[in-house]
Structure 1
Amino acid sequence: MRTAVVLALLSTAAVLPASLAVAQDGWHLKSATTIDGKASGWDYVSFDAVANHVFLGHRKEGLQVFDPATHTVVKVIDGTAEASSNGAVIIPDLDLGLSNNENGTIIPFKLSTLDAKPPVKVGEDLDTSHFDPVGKRLVVNLAGGKDGTDLVMLDPTTMKDVGHLHVPSHKVEGADSDGTAFFLAAQDLDKIYKIDTAGSEVLAEIDVATLCGQPTSIAADVADDRVFVGCRGRGTVKPSLIVLDGAKGSVVYSAEIGAGTDSLAYDPTLKRIFSTNGLGANLNVFAQQDADTYKPEETLGTRAFVRTMAMDHKTGTIYAVTAEGSADPTKKILTSVSPFYPNTFYPNTFTVLAYGKN
């Protein structure tokens, strides 16, 4: 009898890992491709599903066009290395890509040919821009000034200035549209701005301080009118994902995530929300059961400083980047992120990572 019990316990233990694996999606690293270069800083990643191109904002190395089929950089968009590209906005319906550059310019290019057009000067210092399909506006985040940040509205078909909006936040970050309005994170004020971009008007300020310190990244579920916000945390408020009702501005869900989030992605087919967390070196995956019901699905360990990403929704592949670096105490350190955040990255370590389920 004792032998039978031991065998039964061993048998049960043997199937537990498989049972647990079935309960999770099973996200994992599919490939890692190192790109030669000086490994200067980087920021945003975007994906063009038509041409199957990943755009890497590699700053002094330029806007690099990565082909995931061949694992190679097939082009650097002209002029973007000199301008120091922070990443690209992709508008497939217009066959248009836009490199956001640290020198305050935007360089338009055709997605189909990758041919660049002359740069458009928007300001002295530029972080990023976002396309709002509702207002048909490109919303440009200029660097914050003493009294806040200027948002410049451009018509993406002409690149003409069609409106301005000043907000008191010194640190505006991620944004997305829920199909009715444009939502923008004010990281320093713990608020989300709900904006009519066509009218250059703030419709509402949503205070999220009690559940979401330093809101940074935003993604939206248009079908259910839900806005997902990734928060870095502040004081006793932990890094969190919160879900807002886009119409009401109320929080319907919140949960803890890894440290240093900088990007969110939502897949409406898989019903999954993803958060990349550069300081936590992990990828949180949440399952959406209905508009107001969510649960943590799994958390994948990634690599340090994996903080921005883009998703190929057709294949379910997530693309992210990182590099090896260190914090040189003789140089300025971005202490608002971490007292030991790297300010020096090593040559030939910039790596494109692909995560998936298969």
Structure 2
Amino acid sequence: MKHSLLMGAYVLCFAVAAPAFAFDGWHQENAATIESKTSAFDYVAFDAGTNRLFIGHRQEGLQVFDLAAHKLMKVVGDTTAHSANGATLMPEFDLGIANNEDGTITPFKISTLEAQPSLKVSEEIDASHYDPASKHIFVNAAAGKDGQDIVVLDAPSLKVAGTIRAATAKAEGADVDGKGNLYLAEQDLAKIAVIDTKAMKVTAEWETTGCGKPTAVASDAVNKRLFVGCRSKGAVKPALIVINTETGKIIYAAEIGDGVDGTVYDAELKRIFVASGVNATLSVFEQQNADTYKLVETLATRQWVKVLAMDRKAKKLYSIVAEGSADAGKKINTAVSPYYPNTVFPNTFTVLTYSK
């Protein structure tokens, strides 16, 4: 009996003293389904000042979602006619722009959502990226056989300041370091282009070996690191890579789910979040120091959850999704996946909230 009591006490002490497993416990906090038609969708952007999410819902326009009430507020201007891919927000000017598939941008006030007439910038637009250091907006414009134009606009005037000819024909995500550099994913070349935001020119290109298709980018300016979410290409598996921005060298790589389109870094939490829409995963990595990273957990989400926005104060992540199908009788975007959905079911569009 005495032996059993001692053993029980030992086990109890061991259990109390044992270190906790480093598991954050991210989970889906809310799913708000809104009335919708059959449009595809792309990027999301979060505005902390209004606690709103701006959603690029293509032919259903740039939609504004109230995150406190979990309901759709408004569609910005005439963006349904221009097919909105998403929004770029510049709170310092109370200015946002919808990035439209037809090559226009639609300016609006973030506070009132009042829209101005749409402006033609290119033949098509995927996304744009704002750099507060130079007050320049970099627009991923139409691609040609010998490269792609990055149209540079002044903020807040939205006048054209210049054009950068990038070698890529598939410019994707980008982020800035606040020190005059913009890092642009050149998906088809498997490279990162470094752009001087004031001089408006490409100053370097970095190879992303082991990264099939660099797609989603997030910058850690303090530690001079760049986080790149990569889709698969041939035998090269999807991965998160970390680049030292002083040298352009890859210092870390880890496998993730495929179909990534969203990478977010939170400096306070020391976490990198990667959303992968084909495998329906949200990977969470810990930044232990500038050169050391570890996978904390991989959350099961839903297929098509591929973009991310973050409320860094409330520590919540936002994404969008809908139910759909890969109709074999219609063209499928096989560059993403052989079964990538090309048909969206009505009234299934959902805004997702993830938290700890």
* TM-score, normalised by the number of residues in structure 2: 0.94
Q: Paired residue for 2:270?
A: 271
Q: C-alpha distance in 2, partners of 1:51/1:179?
A: 23
Q: Paired residue for 1:78?
A: 77
Q: Paired residue for 1:191?
A: 191
Whether 1:246 and 2:245 are equivalent positions in the alignment is yes
Q: Structure 2 unaligned runs (5+)? A: none
Q: Paired residue for 2:218?
A: 219
Q: SS state of the match for residue 156, structure 2? A: coil
Amino acid at match of 2:29: K
Q: Paired residue for 2:92?
A: 93
Q: C-alpha distance in 2, partners of 1:200/1:78?
A: 30
Q: Paired residue for 1:58?
A: 57
Across the two proteins, how many residue pairs are aligned to each other? Answer: 348
Q: C-alpha distance in 2, partners of 1:21/1:147?
A: 54
Q: C-alpha distance in 1, partners of 2:291/2:39?
A: 41
Q: Percent identity?
A: 53
**Contact 1:165–1:201 (CA under 8 A) maintained in structure 2:** yes
Measure how far apart 1:21 and its partner are: 7.7
Q: Paired residue for 1:26?
A: 25
Amino acid at match of 1:121: K
Amino acid at match of 2:191: K
Q: Paired residue for 1:303?
A: 302
Q: Structure 1 unaligned runs (5+)? A: none
Whether 1:333 and 2:332 are equivalent positions in the alignment is yes
Q: C-alpha distance in 1, partners of 2:222/2:134?
A: 18
Q: SS state of the match for residue 143, structure 1? A: strand
Q: C-alpha distance in 2, partners of 1:206/1:134?
A: 23
Q: C-alpha distance in 1, partners of 2:232/2:331?
A: 23
Q: C-alpha distance in 2, partners of 1:315/1:261?
A: 24
Q: C-alpha distance in 2, partners of 1:288/1:219?
A: 13
Whether 1:68 and 2:67 are equivalent positions in the alignment is yes
Q: C-alpha distance in 2, partners of 1:31/1:232?
A: 27
Q: SS state of the match for residue 227, structure 2? A: strand
**Contact 1:135–1:196 (CA under 8 A) maintained in structure 2:** no
Amino acid at match of 1:348: N
Measure how far apart 1:39 and its partner are: 3.5
Q: C-alpha distance in 2, partners of 1:130/1:227?
A: 16
Measure how far apart 1:311 and its partner are: 0.3
Q: Paired residue for 1:281?
A: 280
Q: SS state of the match for residue 126, structure 2? A: strand
1:147-206, Cα deviation, whole Å (9 max, x unpaired):
211110000211111111111211010000123311000000000000012212111010
1:297-334, Cα deviation, whole Å (9 max, x unpaired):
11100011100110000100000000000111221110
Q: Paired residue for 2:200?
A: 200
Amino acid at match of 1:150: D
Q: SS state of the match for residue 92, structure 2? A: helix
Q: C-alpha distance in 2, partners of 1:356/1:350?
A: 20
Higher deviation after alignment, 145-154 or 344-353: 145-154
Counterpart mapping for 1:120-199 below 5 A: 120-180=119-179, 181-199=181-199
Q: SS state of the match for residue 117, structure 1? A: coil
**Contact 1:144–1:171 (CA under 8 A) maintained in structure 2:** yes
Q: C-alpha distance in 2, partners of 1:21/1:148?
A: 51
Q: SS state of the match for residue 266, structure 1? A: strand
Amino acid at match of 1:148: G
RMSD: 1.9
Q: SS state of the match for residue 80, structure 2? A: helix
**Contact 1:126–1:143 (CA under 8 A) maintained in structure 2:** yes
